[in-house]
Amino acid sequence: MLALTILGNNSAIPAFGRHPTAQVLQTQDEIYLIDCGEGTQERLSEYKIKRSRINHIFISHLHGDHYFGLIGLLTSMGLLGRANDLHLHAPALLEKIIQLQLEAASTTLPYKIYFHALGDEGPIANDKRVWVSSFKTSHRIDCWGFIFREKKNPRSIDPEKVKAYEIPAAFYDSLQKGHDYSTKKGTIIPNAEVTTAAVPPKSYAYCADTIYDEALVEKIKSVDVLYHETTYLKDLHARAAARYHSTTIEAGEIARLAGVNKLLIGHFSSKYESLDDFLSETSAVFANTELALEGCCFRIG
Amino acid sequence: MLALTILGNNSAIPAFGRHPTAQVLQTQDEIYLIDCGEGTQERLSEYKIKRSRINHIFISHLHGDHYFGLIGLLTSMGLLGRANDLHLHAPALLEKIIQLQLEAASTTLPYKIYFHALGDEGPIANDKRVWVSSFKTSHRIDCWGFIFREKKNPRSIDPEKVKAYEIPAAFYDSLQKGHDYSTKKGTIIPNAEVTTAAVPPKSYAYCADTIYDEALVEKIKSVDVLYHETTYLKDLHARAAARYHSTTIEAGEIARLAGVNKLLIGHFSSKYESLDDFLSETSAVFANTELALEGCCFRIG
C-alpha cells in the first residue's frame, strides 16, 4: 500500500493559501519526499509527518518552487539531531548550492547526505518496499519525473488453514513467499491451499513540470496513479506551451493515452483562485481525475 | 515616523506558529526588509505589505533562519514583473549563492539587483527619509546589526499664522526648512512665528543575533527602539553563550546600559511554547520591554 499526501499544489508564487510543490509518498516503513518548495518543513509539521522517517528526497528540477524549501529542511533535520543517512536524488547542481549554503553558515550537518545526481532515465533507488526510477519530462530546464513501484507483496496466510494443518509460525515467511509446506511425515501442503494471492503491487508516477508531451505516455504506461501538472486551464494552451507547462485537457489526454487508473492534477497557476474548472475540464477528458488538494491523502492500493 | 512590523520572531526551526526572523520597517515612502527567513514572502502577503515598495533589503548574516526566504522573494518579485532596482545589503557570499540559484533555474530577473557587501561598520544607505548604518555583533559567524535613523523632520507650519500673514503656499517648503519669510514690503516674519518645531527624528537599532556583548552599547546608544535577541531564558545563560546567543536579562542589560527608550525582544528558541517568561524576565531588568510578536506593528515616534 502506498499513500500520497499533498503538501503543496501551486506553481511559482504562493497564493490563496496554496503552497509551492511538495508531496510525500508513504509505505509501511518509509516516507519519500518528492520536491520541496519553500515552507515544506512547516507543512510537514502541520500534517504531523515525521521528518525523521524521510530517508530519500527526490527533486525534479531546479526551479525554485520545487526546491527552495530543501535547505531549510536539511538544516532543521540537523538541528533536531538527525543521525541517519539521507539520500538526495536531484539535478547535479543542487549539491553545489547546498554545499555553498552550508559553508556560508559554517554548518556541518550531524548526518551524511548521499547525493545522487539525476542523469539517465531508469532505476535510481531500490528500497525495502519500492523501486524508484526516473524519466525525463519536457520542461524549460532539465526536469525529471519519478515512478515508485511497489515490490511484489507477500501472499496472505489464511489463519484458519495454517491452524488446521498445524503449520508452525516459523514457516509463515516461506508460505508468504509462495513456497509449499512439507509436514514431518513428508506430506506436501500446496501453498495455494493455505494462502491467498498477494495484493498486486501498486505504482505511482510523478510527472513534475512538463509541456504536453506524448513521449511521456510509454514511460508511465498503466501506472495506478499519475500526477500530471495542469498549470493552466484549456483556454491558455498557447501560454502553457510557451512556458513549457500543460493545460487541463492535455493532462487528461496523457492519462487517457497511458491507460492509468487515476489522475491527480496540480501545480495550479497563482492567477486562479477557484480550482473548480480544473477538475471539470480535466474530468471531461479523463473521468477518474482528482485535484491534488493540500493536506489530502490519496491511498494507492 | 517609523513603523516596524514583525514577520518572524523564532530562531532556527519554525515552531508554535512562529516563523524565522524577518521584519519590515516603514517610512511614509519606503519599506525596508530586515532579514528574510523561510516563508517571508508568505508573511508579506498575509500582512498585506506591498513587496513592490521594498527597494532595500538588509541581511544580517548567513544562518538560514535569517535568509532562506530571500531567493523565493527575489524570484517572485521577478515573476510579478518588478522593474525597479533592488538594493541588497548582505554578507558577500550571498551574492554567489543567489547567482548560482538563478543560473540553475536559467532565470534572468527583470530587475537589477545592486549587491552591497557588508564589511565595515558605518553608513551603508542614504535614502530619502533615513540613514542606515551597519555595525558588527558578536555571533558564531560574521553578523551585522543595522541602525535606521530618520533624517531631520520638516518644521510644522501653523495654518492660521501663514493665513494671517498672507504667506503664499510657494514659500511653505522654505518655512519648513526653518527660513524666515520676507514680505513684499521687506518686513521679516521670523520662522518661529509661523512654524513649530519639527518632530525629533527617531531611530531603530536591529541587533540581529549576538552573544551578550557590552561593546554593542556604544554603537546603539540612545536609540528610540532597540531590537535585541533573547533566544533563551535566563537559566540557560551558559547554553546561550556557547551558541553565541543571549538571554532575557542580557538583552535587558544592554538596553539599560545603552539608555534606549524601548526594547523589543525576539528570536525565541523553538523549545519554548509560551513567551510569558521572556517578557517578565526581561522587564525585570528593563521595564519598557515588549515581545516582538508576529503581525504586531510598533510605531516609533
| pLDDT, average across residues B224-238 | 98
Q: What is the pLDDT of residue A184?
A: 87
Please name the amino acid found at residue A190. Answer: P
Residue A153's pLDDT band, with cuts at 50, 70 and 90, is: confident
Of A38, A94, A141, nearest to B72 by CB-CB distance is A38
Of B72, B100, B105, nearest to A100 by CB-CB distance is B100
Q: What is the DSSP letter of B181?
A: E
Q: What is the pLDDT of residue B65?
A: 97
Q: What is the pLDDT of residue A244?
A: 98
What distance in Å separates residue A157's CA from the closest CA in chain B? 45
Please name the amino acid found at residue B200. Answer: P
Query: Going from the N-terminus, what domains does chain B have, and what CATH number goes with each?
Result: 2-151+202-300 (3.60.15.10), 156-196 (no CATH)
Q: Give which of A10, A38, A140 to mutate to test B binding, by max B Cβ within 10 Å.
A: A38
Q: What is the pLDDT of residue A301?
A: 80
Report the C-alpha gap between A139 and A10 in whole angstroms: 17
| pLDDT, average across residues A225-243 | 98
Find chain A residues with C-beta within 8 A of B80's C-beta.
13
**How confident is the model over B70-93, as pLDDT tens digits?**
999 999 999 999 999 999 999 999
**How confident is the model over B237-256, as pLDDT tens digits?**
999 999 999 999 999 999 99
Q: Give which of A19, A60, A76 to mutate to test B binding, by max B Cβ within 10 Å.
A: A76
Q: What is the pLDDT of residue B301?
A: 80
Q: What is the pLDDT of residue A126?
A: 94
What distance in Å separates residue A93's CA from the closest CA in chain B? 7
Report the C-alpha gap between B148 and A250 in whole angstroms: 53
Residue position matching grid coordinates 531590537: B227
**How confident is the model over A60-71, as pLDDT tens digits?**
999 999 999 999
Residue A284's pLDDT band, with cuts at 50, 70 and 90, is: very high
pLDDT higher at A245 or A29: A245
The conformational region for residue B179 under phi > 0 = left, psi -120 to 50 = alpha, else beta, is beta
**How many other β-carbons are positioned within 10 Å of the β-carbon of residue A188?**
10
Residue A279's pLDDT band, with cuts at 50, 70 and 90, is: very high
Q: B194-227 burial by CB neighbour count: b if 16+ within 10 A, else e?
A: bbeeeeebbbbbbbbbbbbbeebbebbeebbbbb
Asked if A261 is an interface residue toward chain B (Cβ–Cβ < 8 A), one would say no
Residue B294's pLDDT band, with cuts at 50, 70 and 90, is: very high
Tell me if A41 and B14 make a contact (CB, 8 A cut-off): yes
Q: A67-86 burial by CB neighbour count: b if 16+ within 10 A, else e?
A: bbbbbbbbbbbbbeebeeeb
Q: Is the pLDDT of residue B164 over 90?
A: yes
Of B41, B63, B75, nearest to A105 by CB-CB distance is B63
**How confident is the model over B277-287, as pLDDT tens digits?**
999 999 999 99
Angle made by CA atoms B61, B66, B69, in degrees to the nearest 5: 125
Q: Give which of B38, B44, B141 to mutate to test A binding, by max A Cβ within 10 Å.
A: B38
- Put simply, the chain A residues between 152 and 181 with a CB less than 8 A from any chain B CB are none
Asked if B72 is an interface residue toward chain A (Cβ–Cβ < 8 A), one would say yes
Question: Do B212 and B252 contact (CB within 8 A), yes or no?
Answer: no
Residue A12's pLDDT band, with cuts at 50, 70 and 90, is: confident
Residue A123's pLDDT band, with cuts at 50, 70 and 90, is: very high
Give the residue numbers of B marked as catalytic.
65
Tell me if B79 and A13 make a contact (CB, 8 A cut-off): yes
Q: What is the DSSP letter of B191?
A: H
